[in-house]
Structure 1
Amino acid sequence: MTTSTDADVAVASLHAMGSGTKADFRPLYTEDAVNREALAEPPEARGTGPAALFAYALWLRAAFSDLAWEIHEVVHDGELVVIHSTMSGRQTGLFVSYGPDAKVAAAFPPRGRSFAVTQTHWLRMRDGRVAEHWANRDDLGMGQQLGWTPPTPLYLGRMLLATRRERSKAAA
């Protein structure tokens, strides 16, 4: 993967989330890169560096097929790159969210629905690679499009059963 500017690397890092391989992540992230959004992610995605960011991508891909980011605007100022984008996909797998204690908080069974939500990603760059990431996302809008909120009584029951199963698996 060849990139020429910090903005190019930042955009490539978003696209890698949808389809990149573990090898694709190495040149994009510093060894100590941190994702400030990791508090709701699985334990393996809470570390630092390319491996943790790749674990984050795998977590998203397990729940969402056709995962993609449409880039609308990119602003680059000094070491900071800001990307305004739309994330889209279709939920075809179980989405598991985690609490600050890294334990399963909730599980959302797939309904096969598609979503598209705007996001703003903030990336701090160092030596031509991403060193820090945080984002502003429309999680409520995504949940509404996927039918998570407000849940129907039947879907709420499916969520409770899926959450219980995921907690049991994590405890084993």
Structure 2
Amino acid sequence: MNSDPSAGSADAKSVAVQSIEFVAAGSRDDFDAVIHPDAYNHETRTEPPHTRTRGPASWYATALWLRRAFADLDFEIRHAVADGDLVAVEVTMSGRHVGQFVNYDESGAVDQAFPPTGRSFAVAQSHWVRIRDGQVIEHWADRDDLGMAQQLGWTPPGPAYLARMVWATRRARKTPPD
């Protein structure tokens, strides 16, 4: 048994950081390695319905959903702090809006669609990750969604972009979720 108490914290931080970095570029196998089969992501309420399940498939589905909308997706790790099985990770998420970004309501229906603007963004986020058996078992986040929306021109939308949003939302409601 390892008697160094910081070793467990280092391992927990490494797993938590990997789980966030993999959203930008990880494979399904990467998610299988760090996400517990019973893991639950508390942040999927506005994501496609198939991201709202437990386990690595849910995390991978979230990653693909974000990657379709944002090129050059990156999570710059600022800090990671562990306290027992809980790890807090401060990041800057950045990317460029190149694909349609669709939000869903709690029932899983399309709520709003944002057509690509080509604009870049960089926003602060804090992720809270609980580790069990060397894998992520729970995740919460505090994100600057308003800052991202402002940088991408989603809010306040100009008249032309508002019209594009209406048409994109109508099209998305006719198309099954990604």
Map 1:23-102; keep pairs closer than 5 Å.
Answer: 23-102=29-108
Corresponding residue to 2:145 among 113, 127, 139:
139
1:170 and 1:61 map into 2 onto residues whose CA distance is 18
2:104 and 2:15 map into 1 onto residues whose CA distance is 29
Q: CA RMSD in A?
A: 1.0
1:49 and 1:32 map into 2 onto residues whose CA distance is 5
The Cα of 1:169 is off from its aligned counterpart by 1.4
Alignment length (residue pairs) = 168
1:97 and 1:120 map into 2 onto residues whose CA distance is 21
Paired position in structure 2 for 1:109: 115
Paired position in structure 2 for 1:126: 132
1:139 and 1:146 map into 2 onto residues whose CA distance is 11
What is the one-letter code of the residue matched to 2:131?
A: M
Paired position in structure 1 for 2:5: none
Corresponding residue to 1:158 among 142, 155, 164:
164
Paired position in structure 1 for 2:4: none
2:175 and 2:33 map into 1 onto residues whose CA distance is 34
Q: Does 1:170 align with 2:173?
A: no
**Structure 1 residues not aligned, in runs of 5+:** none
1:35 and 1:100 map into 2 onto residues whose CA distance is 14
The Cα of 1:44 is off from its aligned counterpart by 1.0
Identity over the aligned pairs, expressed in percent?
Answer: 54
What is the one-letter code of the residue matched to 1:113?
A: R
Question: SS state of the match for residue 39, structure 1?
Answer: coil
Deviations 1:67-111 (A, max 9, x none): 011111111000100001100000000000000111100000001
1:114 and 1:139 map into 2 onto residues whose CA distance is 14
The Cα of 1:170 is off from its aligned counterpart by 3.0
Paired position in structure 2 for 1:6: 12
Structure 1 ranges of 4+ moved more than 2 A? none
Structure 1 length-normalised TM: 0.96
Give the greater-gyration-radius structure (CA). 2
1:71 and 1:20 map into 2 onto residues whose CA distance is 16
What is the one-letter code of the residue matched to 2:128?
A: W
